[in-house]
Each structure stands twice: as C-alpha cells, then as structure tokens.
Structure 1
Amino acid sequence: MDEKVTISDIAREVGVSKTTISRYLNGSYGYMSDKTRRRIEQVIEQTGYVPNNVARTLRSKKSNLIGVVVNTLRYQVGAQTVTGIQDVCNKYGYGTVVCCSDDDPDKELEAIQLCQNQQVDGFIIIPCLEKSNRYIELCQRGTPVVLCTRRLTDWPYGCVYVKHEEMIGQMMVHLKEQGFEKVQFLLDVNNFHKRRMGDAFAQRAKELFDMEPDESIALVGRKDPKIPEALDQFKAKWVGTRKAVMAVNTHTLFLTLQELERRGCHIPEDIGVCGYDAQGWAELVSPGISAIRQPMDQMGIQAAEELMAALAENRMSQNHVALSGKVFFRDSTKRN
C-alpha cells in the first residue's frame, strides 16, 4: 500500500464498506461482528493508518476530545485527578486536552478558548472563579461541563467535590481529645476554595478551642512562605499551652516539618502537626504524620463518568457528588 493510507484502502483490505470503517473509527460497533472489528483493528495497526480528525469532526460534529482545565499540576491532587479523568476518557474512546490555569482567571479563560478551538465535546474544570457565570455560558452553548474538586454555591450542573468540612472537623475533635489547647491552620493562598477550608477550621476552633478566626488562621504564602514567622507568632501568643498546627497541603506540611526539624522541636511534645494529602510518606517518617487524604483518583474518575454519561445521553450533567476522604491519626498528634 501507499504510505498515505486512506479509509478506502482500509475498507478494501478488510473487505467491507467505507461506512463500516467510519463506524469503527467513531466507536459505533453495534452493527459490526467481533471478527470484523478485530480485522479492522489489525489492518489499521499493520498499515499505520491515522484518521483525519479534522474531517471527522466536521462530518460528525464530534471531536471525541474532552477539555480538562485544572488549577495546578504541581501537587498530587491535580496530577492524580487528571490521571483518573484520562483513564475513564480513554476507556470510552475520548482523548483529552489538558490545560493548567495556575489559579489565574485570565489563564483559565485562555485555556477554555484553546479547548474550544479544538472543538472539544465537553469540559471537566477545576474552577478558579467563585462565581459560575463563565462555566454556565459553556453549558448554555450546548457543551456539557462537570466541575471537579471545588464546589460553587450557584452552580446548577454536574459537580464532584470533597467534604472538607467533615474531615477537618474530625481532625479538630481528635486534637481536642489529645489535650491540645490552641490550634492554627497554615494556609498557603487566599483563594475562595482555601478560604472555605479556613472557615471550616475557624468555626471548629471557635467551638472547641475558644479562638477567634484571626488567631486560628495564618496565611503563610506560597512563593515565599512565611512559615517561620507564623510559628514564632503562634508560639509567643499562648506561652505554656499545648499547641498544634495543621497544614493546608503537602507542600506547606513539608516546609512546616522542615522548619520544626531545624528548630529541634519534638513532635508532638513541643507541638502537634497534621496536614493534607501527605500520601506515601506520612506514615513512614518519624513520628508518623496525622493527615487528611482526599480521594484524588476517585474525584477524576467520578467527574469523567458523569461527563461520559451526559455525552452519551446528549444532555447536561446535573449530579452533585460529594466524596468522603480518609482521616489518619498518627503519632504526630497523639499525646494521650
């Protein structure tokens, strides 16, 4: 065969019509025997045939692509969520266009426009905006959207998120039961998602430890973290009390542990430490670190399944799915 293999070449080699080959390429196997399907797959592999996706998209008005816009790929949450999304999309015959917004609304808009230029059939977005107008506009144009990991109060369509308030509450009760008298939440950035996590912490800190929000929340920053300063202020404010800190993510937790090690602090005798998503190493370091673990893979899997169902039924996704993570209590917060 010629180097530039066409759909007609494939049809002739298999002994079927071009329509049958087109159905195969579009994932429509209903009128096709397993034997024919395997033969088509074999010939395509042997010839190295590459479909003209632009032409297919124009004909079918479907690209079989999903736009995935995430806030970050630097940490476990983003990377493992994307892995779950891609696993499901691949299973259903969809590719993905993955873009990162860096939690910047302008970059997010550029990413969405790039995906639209690729004629994506649907979106999975980890939003960086608290208001849902931008995402609702996509749905109003007929493109299904599922939001992932972050919940918007005014969003009427598909969403998969984690019950942060529930898990933070469990950790706070544990700290109280272990005899800690004052606690502080170390936040890296002040976006709407982290503020909600901080609000949940501050509420329980008020109930359990009689602390005001400005006492129980410390914004340490991300690019140039002020963790030493936050620890100094926390130590100086309540001399002689049993204290514990909770880090908002793996990066902040690691830097906190590094700083406490530099100071020669004993955990949990001098200060208790817990955090989020310290997956893989939290139980291995000494002492083991108490941590909240988000269901990262499951978030991506669930969001993609929601979108696949909406596309299959030619509708918008409208399910709100709340996932529970796991809370691990280890020696870094055990005083009793």
Structure 2
Amino acid sequence: MKTVTMADVANQANVSKSTVSQYLNKRYDYMGEKTKIRIAQAIEELGYQPNIVARSLKQKSTKTIGVIVANILHTFSTEVSRAIEDACNMEDFHTIICNADDDPAKEKKYIEMLRAKQVDGLIIFPTGNNRELYRKMLDEKYPLVFMDRPVAEIPVSSVMLNNEKASGLAVNHLINNGHRRLAMITASTTENVSPRVERMEGFKKALHSHKLPVSEDYMKSVEPDQVNGTLEDMWKLDEPPEAILAGNDLVLKEILQFVKQKDLNIPRDLSIIGIDDVPYASFYNPPLTTIAQPTFQMGTTAAQVLLNKINKKQPADNLPDDRFEPELKIRESVADKGGVQS
C-alpha cells in the first residue's frame, strides 16, 4: 500500500501543506473552523499517520520525557509517576516510565536507552551509584531532575520530602500518647539512600528532644525480607517495643504480616505508624495512622521543573531544591497510654 503523505491530506482538504503542518502542530491562530474540519476529515478518510521521527528531527524535540523510578512497587513511586504523566500530558508531552529495581546497572541501561531514543529530559529516582553518568548529563546541560533523593556532590534540581520532620511527627505523636519504648525499621541504608538515612536521623533527633534514650536494639535498617527476623529479635528483648515506626510502605507491609503471625492486637499490644499513606490505611482494621507525602504535588513540581528546563524557561543549572512538608494522618493504630493528646 502507498504511504499516505501530508501532501495527500493537503490535496484532499484543498489546503497547502503548511496549513496541514500548522494543524498537526495545533497552531490554529489564523485557521478557520471550516478549514480545521476539512483537514480532520481528510486525515480520517485517508488514514494518515504523521511521521513522528521526521517531525522530531525537524523540531529537535520528541515531546517525550523519561521517568526512571527506583522501585515501582512503592505507593510513592506510582502516585508520583501518575502526577508526572498528568502534568506532561497537559503540555502535550508523552512519558516513558522505567523501573530500576534499586539496581545501578539497570538504571544505567535505562538512562542510555532513553537518551538513545532522544527523550527531551529525564526525571530519575536515583540509585546514587551512576555519578559519572549524572555528571556527563550535567556537563551536556541535558534537562534532568532528581525525585525523592539527592546525590551528594551532583548539583541536580531535586524534589524531596522533609524526611526528618516526617519521623519527628510520628515520634511526637507516639510520645504525646504515652509511649516510651519506640522502635523504627527502615529499608536498608547500605547504599546511603538519603530518605532512609534522613528518616532514621529524624527519629533519633526526636527521641533526643524528648530526652529519651536511643537504643540500637530498637533501630534497624534491613531489606524487606529481613524485617520479620528483625522483629523476632526485638520480641525476644526483656522489654520489646510498644510502638513501631515503619520507614516506608514495604516495611509497613512486613510489620503487619508479623503482627498477624504473632496474633498481636493493634493498638493494644503494639502501636504502629507508617511513613507513606498507603491506599489501605484508612480501611485497614484498625485504620492506620500514617505520615503522608504530598505525592501528586511533588510529581507535578518535578514535571514542571523539567519542562521549564526543556523549554529554556529555567537554566539547566538552576537548583530549586524543593522540600515538601509531611502530614500526620491520625487514625486508630496508636494507643492512648495516658499521655498528652497531640
């Protein structure tokens, strides 16, 4: 079959090729409504498909960005990615979302693949271990934004949560409700992933501010499949924790499985707060108190910063590091042990 060209559409609609081009690029300022209708009908009747590659080369833009998330299983990742997609769609940009599985090698492969596809910019939840690749993109003034975590000595615009405050809100709420033996479990900090490190640091600072001891037995950073064993060790202590802060949604899931396995009652036997307002938190039995991140606002901001860089509205080396504020969602998973209500 003969390929339908823009010239064929122009002939069918009785307009010039430049008018068809303006229509395809949504430049309607001086185009009459009847002309638009004729072009639309010609495109449909002929089955015309624009040559995206040719248009991209001509415009020096693919109208596409890449998003590389650290772990797509996190509620945070999926909600932020949705917000990025919504914001880009409003500007007629497409998104390609890739999952790095917290693996630097996989992240590197996706960066190289997306750049080979000539995406106009990248939003990365960085593993942190591809510093030379990040620096190369900076040197080339390639539009780049980091989400959720910065990378030391890599001056890239980063959109993040105030992680220390997130832990502080949880600790204050637990202490104000009479708890004193507080534990925290985060995912592994072996790779120094900043949100995990900052949340643990915020936990320690909050305990210090209330003049409570910081016990290494109550603070653990482990892989999700090690959470159960970590909790088993805590429950063998002479004084097991009476409240636990889960550093993220995957850790929270493991803690809830342990609670079910041990037939513990929330909050009578154990009070729980999770960082990340997971979808099931409000209807779990009992409803779970959480620390919520403004995921959609964060994703929208990351997209806007990147699109501004792509459209040259913001210099590539401008660094608006946005720290977003967490919110305590009080529900029923924290027992009142006679403290002052927060």
TM above 0.5, yes or no, is yes
- Relative to structure 1, the CA distance from residue 55 to residue 212 in structure 2 (aligned partners, 3 Å threshold; closer, same or farther) is same
Amino acid at match of 1:208: H
- The answer to whether the aligner puts 1:308 opposite 2:290 as a matched pair is no
Segments of 5+ residues of structure 2 without an aligned counterpart are: none
* Partner secondary structure for residue 210 of structure 2: helix
Which position in structure 2 is the counterpart of 1:235? Answer: 235
Which position in structure 2 is the counterpart of 1:326? Answer: 327
Shift of 1:175: 0.8
Instruction: State whether residues 218 and 241 of structure 2, in contact with CA within 8 Å, keep that contact through their aligned partners in structure 1.
Output: no
Instruction: State whether residues 202 and 216 of structure 1, in contact with CA within 8 Å, keep that contact through their aligned partners in structure 2.
Output: no
Separation in 1, partners of 2:141, 2:24: 24
* Partner secondary structure for residue 201 of structure 2: helix
Separation in 1, partners of 2:286, 2:294: 24
Amino acid at match of 1:144: P
- The equivalences for 1:1-336 within 5 A come to 4-30=3-29, 32-33=31-32, 36-37=35-36, 39-129=38-128, 133-190=132-189, 191=191, 192-193=193-194, 194-208=196-210, 210-212=212-214, 214-222=216-224, 225-239=225-239, 243-313=242-312, 315-316=315-316, 318-335=319-336, 336=338
Separation in 2, partners of 1:93, 1:146: 19
Separation in 2, partners of 1:176, 1:202: 13
* Partner secondary structure for residue 120 of structure 1: coil
Amino acid at match of 2:203: F
Provide the aligned C-alpha RMSD in A.
2.5
Separation in 2, partners of 1:39, 1:174: 64
* Partner secondary structure for residue 331 of structure 1: coil
Deviation readout 1:143-198 (Å, 9 max, x if unpaired): 21111122335343422111121121111111111111111111222232322222
Percent identity, aligned pairs only, is: 28
Separation in 1, partners of 2:102, 2:59: 34
Separation in 1, partners of 2:129, 2:211: 30
Q: TM-score, normalized by length of structure 1?
A: 0.88
* Partner secondary structure for residue 333 of structure 2: helix
Shift of 1:226: 2.7
Q: How many residues align?
A: 332
* Partner secondary structure for residue 196 of structure 1: helix
- Relative to structure 1, the CA distance from residue 81 to residue 33 in structure 2 (aligned partners, 3 Å threshold; closer, same or farther) is farther
Amino acid at match of 2:20: I
Greater displacement, 145-154 / 74-83: 145-154
* Partner secondary structure for residue 332 of structure 1: coil
Instruction: State whether residues 175 and 333 of structure 1, in contact with CA within 8 Å, keep that contact through their aligned partners in structure 2.
Output: yes
Separation in 1, partners of 2:213, 2:201: 13
Shift of 1:81: 1.3
Q: TM-score, normalized by length of structure 2?
A: 0.87
Separation in 2, partners of 1:46, 1:148: 44
Separation in 2, partners of 1:243, 1:9: 74
* Partner secondary structure for residue 226 of structure 1: helix
- Relative to structure 1, the CA distance from residue 213 to residue 20 in structure 2 (aligned partners, 3 Å threshold; closer, same or farther) is farther
